[in-house]
Amino acid sequence: MYSCCNIGCNIVAPEVDDIPGYTRDIYLKRVADYRLYGFSHLEFSHLLSLDLKDASCIREACRSAGIVPWSVHSEHLNEGGSQEEYFRTQEHCAKIAEALDARVMVCHLPNLTPRFDFARALEILSQLADITARRHVRLAIENCGFKGDIDFIIRIIDSMNRPDTGFNLDTGHAFYGENCDVAGMVRKIGKRLTTTHLHDNFGENDDHQPPGLGRIDWHAVLKAFRDVAYNGPLMMEMTGNGVKKRRSVGELRDFDLEKELISGAAYLHFQWNRVNREAMEESR
């Protein structure tokens, strides 16, 4: 018998392409559609326009649709930004995550110079993990396409040594940013893996294309997920028009979002079933 394949995605609304535009009404409008596309789990990437009442309404819409509000994506600490304001924003994101009944909050490394200041990153992310822990949400740190990100994040996670903090593997960032064997990175991350951002590219740009529409070896990646006993959902991360306009291939810059979502989910299902079938045959 095949192991279950739960596939999820962040909600993207084609009619909205700025963070403040992601309101309660936009999310409520899209939740049921994502269940029809074949997703069992959702990520909510933009939270600044939501309050706790909004989050509760969205949570109930997810329950009605039979879909899990799995994760949220927090905002970033950028060069020149105030750490005090950053932590206020993270507190808001964590409260929204709790109200949604989400399990995970994804964050980026601080976008500060120098990027790999270990003591500074450890201090900031430890404070952030305290914030998420108070809201009963796990923290997942994402690699962002800079060479060295993955090893640095592994070092941070191991130094934090917290069961509520792990890794969010962004396959697209790993493939183009570190020019790496993504399946090998899955095995390197191993038990630290908490959640994923699955998307594809041609190794040149952060195209955010659906799995299968690029050069990543998805059969190898999903086999690696099975080998490390990853038991979370396979979360895709698609994007709005702002990023799509920068895609490497011109014809894909205005590709229909609904087709991307459905084809990406179907391709992951196919490859996961293939990996499980091969494992069953090998065990005979």
Domain boundaries, the chain: 7-283
Average pLDDT of the segment spanning 78-91: 93
Question: Is residue 171 a contact partner of residue 184, using CB atoms and an 8 Å limit?
Answer: no
Residues 43-76: tens digit of each pLDDT: 999 999 999 999 999 999 999 999 999 999 999 9
236-266 pLDDT, tens digit per residue, is 999 988 889 999 999 999 999 999 999 999 9
Q: Using CA atoms, how far apart are residues 212 and 108, in angstroms rounded to an integer? A: 25
| 26-46: pLDDT as tens digits | 999 999 999 999 999 999 999
CATH classification number, 7-283, choose in 3.20.20.150, 3.40.630.10, 3.10.450.50, 1.10.3720.10: 3.20.20.150
- Say if CB 272 and CB 48 are below 8 A apart: no
DSSP 162-218: -TTEEEEEEHHHHHHHS---HHHHHHHHGGGEEEEEB-B--SSS---BPTTSSS--H
% of the chain exceeding 90 in pLDDT = 90
Q: What is the pTM of this model?
A: 0.96
Secondary structure class of 257 (helix, strand, coil):
helix
